Amino acid sequence: MNYDRVRVKGLARAAIRRGRPRPWTVTLVYTLPGAGLSYAASLSETLISGPASSPREAAVLAALAAGGCGVLVGLLAAVLATGYTYYAMNLWRGRRADFPDLFQGLALAGRVVPLFLLTLALTVLWCLAGMALCLPALAAGLLLRSQAALFLLLVPGAAGGLVLLLNRLLRYALAYHLLLDHPDWSAVSCLHASKR
């Protein structure tokens, strides 16, 4: 496969120059709700953890609030990001790209949410698999009772886990693009096509 990076970069610059409204204004409009969602999630975590009867109960409530808000913010961010991806795809393909494209993710929310949840579940599983690569190194380092040996054994294990995780995440990177091109596909079909 012959990939001309300079040519593609020039085409991207031309697409950005040709975009009306200006792509930076669309990006700003896209970024503001995400920042507001993050702020609301952190504020709700603070409010929920406040009226607890004991410090332990406060910690449990804060952890549940953080997890619940995190998933909710992730779902909303995935829906908004899908709309922004739709805008960028239209801009790149020379089609009319405008602010209403940002709401395309809402129209596909019934497909975006399962795709997000499936990707999240697979990511968590691959994180656990990556951590499992560190366990033998951790055990060997603890058996040797040396901090230097523990460090020297854990670094390659952690690096291997990180490489495994990044490899798997890159396999899912095109799933939302494929969903936009094929809105009738299921989440599993989009992930399989992205892997291919």
* Tens digit of each residue's pLDDT, the chain (196 residues): 688 899 999 998 999 898 888 999 999 988 887 777 777 766 765 665 555 556 677 677 777 777 777 778 788 888 989 999 999 999 999 999 999 998 998 999 999 999 999 998 998 898 888 888 778 877 877 788 778 877 887 888 788 888 888 988 899 999 999 999 999 999 999 999 999 9
Q: Which amino acid is at 102?
A: L
Amino acid at 165: L
What is the token pair recorded at 158? Answer: 């952690």
Q: What is the pTM of this model?
A: 0.77
Burial 120-144 (b: 16+ CB within 10 A, else e): eeeeeebbeebeebbeebeeebeee
